[in-house]
């Protein structure tokens, strides 16, 4: 077998810096909360802002009449953003410590708020919510926490910022921490932390501050380095959506044929019995291949190629699953939809629904309820969802899909809606199930 090999190779010696973990987190909060300053501080104090960017920042800050570097300017990447002094779009930033590599999805606070927040949270392991110490847990704070919870982000961090403006008062922090913790707990977020910081002065961002001797927890960066990473995957229910069929080239391995894809749930091993969907045929895994050799097991989020004992009618859009946990075919979908389109979504509207590697036609049969993301109150009288609104929607599909509940698996429980006339991505779909804890 051509891409096999290297079995029995001696254990590798580690090249320098090669092994660290990756944490993706999103940051929520408006400019007024000091979010950009916090990110700037995190990057600056962990020495992740290169000198040329710093020099450009200095020039830009001076042009805008600031006498010191305005770290907030670092995150405004587009011309329109700098011209208008607003942040339009999610920006991705990167930094590393010896222990972890970080990807920040930096979500702007004002325009297209929900849309950007949903985008940023969809891939996040953790969300940092900025809270102004002078304002306490505001409506906006609740909204941030709610969206992060809906999107299944397992770790939530409340950064109580501008502690310098409340004289680093422990009582102020404690009151906010209790209220935020209580609120986030009721949303079902698994892990909630609260940290008193001053982004402007750097207190408890990278280094613990002497200004808060009453605070015994970690600085923000320490927390980001220590938080447990394992909770966003489902390692139980086996899910392998087929992306692509690899056929060996005549020159390399003409008889080779394998199903290529990414493991989205469970652990697959050679010899395992699997069920191929949609045909429902049972077969066994002959081997799990990679360019670097065959694997003894494959788990999320590895990209592999699977060969089966039998030749099947299985192509892109199909899925290999474990025989004990076969998902039900669904022609009707009950889902939470975050609406991202300019024109509202209403009964009778038709879209394309893209779920894993399968795209089907969908028609909206009912707008069940609109969810007020400030209060979590459900409005059953709603007949449409406008831009940046969230609601429960029923969809009928032209062909079945095999989803899991989003609460169980973020990859197989999620879908997007595409407007066929504009090709725009107009909806984020989170599949719901009975008793999954979402409001009904």
Partner 1 sequence: MSRRRGDGILPATALFRAELGGPAAGSPDGRDGPGRRAGRHLLSHLAVLEAEAIHIFREAAAVFDRPALLFSGGKDSLLLLRLAEKAFRPGRFPFPVLHVDTGHNFPEVLDFRDRRVAELGEELIVASVQASIDRGRVCEEPGPDPSRNRLQTVTLLDAIAEHGFDALFGGGRRDEEKARAKERIFSHRDAFGQWDPRNQRPELWSLYNGRLRKGEHMRVFPISNWTELDVWQYIAVERLEVPSIYFAHRRTVVRRGGLWLAVSDFIHPRDGEEVATRTVRYRTVGDMSCTGAVFSSARTVDEVIAEVAAARVTERGATRADDAFSEAAMEDRKREGYF
| Distance separating alpha carbons of residues 29 and 35, to the nearest angstrom | 6
Any idea which residue has 């580690």 for tokens? 14
Site for partner 1 in 120-149 (CB under 8 A): 122-123
- 283 is a contact residue toward partner 1 (CB under 8 A): no
| Distance separating alpha carbons of residues 87 and 80, to the nearest angstrom | 9
Classify 65 in phi/psi space as left (phi over 0), alpha (psi -120 to 50) or beta.
Answer: left
- 303 is a contact residue toward partner 1 (CB under 8 A): yes
* Shortest separation between residue 46's beta carbon and partner 1, angstroms: 13
Supply 147's token pair: 């969206």
Site for partner 1 in 328-367 (CB under 8 A): 340, 352, 354-355, 357
Which of 210, 291, 380, 434 lies at the binding interface for partner 1 (CB under 8 A)?
A: 291
Phi then psi for residue 185, to 5 deg, are -60, -40
Nearer to partner 1, 303 or 374 (CB): 303
* Shortest separation between residue 25's beta carbon and partner 1, angstroms: 13
Nearer to partner 1, 292 or 379 (CB): 292
Site for partner 1 in 86-125 (CB under 8 A): 88-94, 96, 100-101, 103, 115, 118-119, 122-123
Site for partner 1 in 389-428 (CB under 8 A): 410-411, 414-416, 418, 420, 423-425, 428
Helix axes 139-150 and 113-122, enclosed angle (nearest 10): 40
- 42 is a contact residue toward partner 1 (CB under 8 A): no
- 77 is a contact residue toward partner 1 (CB under 8 A): yes
Q: Which stretch binds partner 1 (CB under 8 A): 126-134, 160-168, 291-299, 324-332?
A: 291-299
Contact 148, 126 (CB under 8 A): no
- 299 is a contact residue toward partner 1 (CB under 8 A): yes
Query: Cβ-count burial of 86 within 10 angstroms (0-12 exposed, 13-18 middle, 19+ buried)?
Result: middle
Number of residues counted as binding partner 1 (CB under 8 A): 94
Supply 36's token pair: 């950009």
Taking residues 219 to 258 in sequence order and writing x for each that binds partner 1 by CB under 8 A, - otherwise, the string is ---------xxxx-xxxx------xx-xxxx-xxx--x--
170-to-200, 211, 219, 411, 422 alpha-carbon distances in Å: 19, 10, 16, 41, 53
Give the β-pairing of 345-346 and 191-196. Answer: unpaired
- 66 is a contact residue toward partner 1 (CB under 8 A): no
* Shortest separation between residue 210's beta carbon and partner 1, angstroms: 28
Contacts of residue 6, defined as CB under 8 A and 6 or more positions apart, other chains included, come to: 292, 293
- 210 is a contact residue toward partner 1 (CB under 8 A): no
Phi then psi for residue 157, to 5 deg, are -125, 120
Nearer to partner 1, 131 or 337 (CB): 337
Q: Which stretch binds partner 1 (CB under 8 A): 47-55, 198-206, 272-280, 368-376?
A: 47-55
* Shortest separation between residue 170's beta carbon and partner 1, angstroms: 30
* Shortest separation between residue 251's beta carbon and partner 1, angstroms: 6
Nearer to partner 1, 131 or 206 (CB): 206
- 21 is a contact residue toward partner 1 (CB under 8 A): yes
* Shortest separation between residue 146's beta carbon and partner 1, angstroms: 17
- 293 is a contact residue toward partner 1 (CB under 8 A): yes
3-class SS shares of the chain: helix, strand, coil, % to 5 = 20, 35, 45
Which of 15, 280, 348, 435 lies at the binding interface for partner 1 (CB under 8 A)?
A: 15
* Shortest separation between residue 339's beta carbon and partner 1, angstroms: 11
Contacts of residue 311, defined as CB under 8 A and 6 or more positions apart, other chains included, come to: 257
Of residues 199, 192, 182, the one with CA closest to residue 217: 192
- 65 is a contact residue toward partner 1 (CB under 8 A): no
Is the Cα dihedral 230, 228, 200, 103 positive or negative? negative
């Amino acid at each position: 077998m051509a891409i096999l090999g290297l079995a029995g190779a001696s254990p590798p010696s580690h090249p320098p810096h090669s092994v660290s973990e990756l944490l993706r987190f999103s940051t929520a909060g408006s400019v007024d909360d000091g979010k950009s300053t916090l990110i700037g501080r995190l990057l600056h104090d962990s020495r992740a802002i290169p000198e040329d960017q710093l020099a450009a920042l200095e020039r830009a800050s001076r042009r805008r009449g600031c006498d010191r570097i305005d770290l907030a300017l670092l995150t405004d990447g587009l011309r329109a953003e700098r011209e208008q002094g607003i942040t339009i779009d999610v920006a991705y930033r990167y930094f590393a410590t010896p222990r972890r590599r970080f990807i920040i999805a930096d979500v702007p606070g004002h325009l297209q708020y929900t849309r950007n927040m949903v985008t940023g949270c969809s891939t996040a392991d953790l969300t940092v919510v900025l809270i102004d110490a002078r304002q306490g847990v505001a409506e906006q704070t609740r909204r941030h926490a709610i969206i992060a919870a809906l999107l299944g982000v397992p770790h939530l961090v409340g950064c109580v910022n501008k502690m310098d403006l409340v004289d680093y008062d422990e009582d102020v922090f404690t009151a906010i921490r209790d209220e935020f913790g209580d609120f986030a707990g009721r949303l079902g977020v698994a892990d909630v932390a609260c940290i008193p910081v001053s982004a402007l002065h750097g207190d408890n961002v990278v280094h613990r501050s002497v200004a808060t001797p009453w605070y015994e927890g970690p600085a923000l960066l320490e927390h980001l380095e220590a938080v447990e990473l394992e909770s966003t995957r489902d390692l139980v229910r086996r899910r392998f959506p087929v992306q692509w069929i690899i056929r060996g080239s005549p020159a390399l391995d003409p008889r080779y044929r394998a199903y290529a894809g990414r493991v989205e749930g469970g652990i697959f091993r050679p010899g395992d019995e699997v069920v191929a969907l949609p045909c429902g045929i049972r077969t066994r895994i002959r081997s799990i291949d990679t360019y670097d050799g065959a694997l003894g097991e494959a788990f999320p989020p590895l990209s592999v190629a699977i060969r089966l004992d039998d030749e099947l009618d299985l192509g892109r859009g199909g899925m290999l699953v474990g025989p004990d946990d076969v998902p039900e075919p669904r022609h009707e979908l009950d889902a939470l939809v975050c609406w991202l389109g300019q024109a509202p979504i209403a009964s009778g509207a038709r879209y394309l629904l893209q779920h894993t590697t399968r795209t089907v036609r969908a028609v909206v049969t009912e707008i069940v309820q609109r969810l007020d993301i400030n209060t979590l109150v459900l409005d059953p009288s709603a007949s449409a969802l406008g831009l940046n609104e969230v609601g429960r929607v029923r969809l009928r599909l032209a062909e079945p899909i095999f989803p899991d509940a989003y609460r169980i698996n973020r990859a197989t429980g999620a879908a997007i809606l595409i407007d066929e006339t504009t090709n725009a991505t107009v909806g984020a779909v989170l599949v719901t199930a009975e008793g999954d804890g979402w409001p009904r």
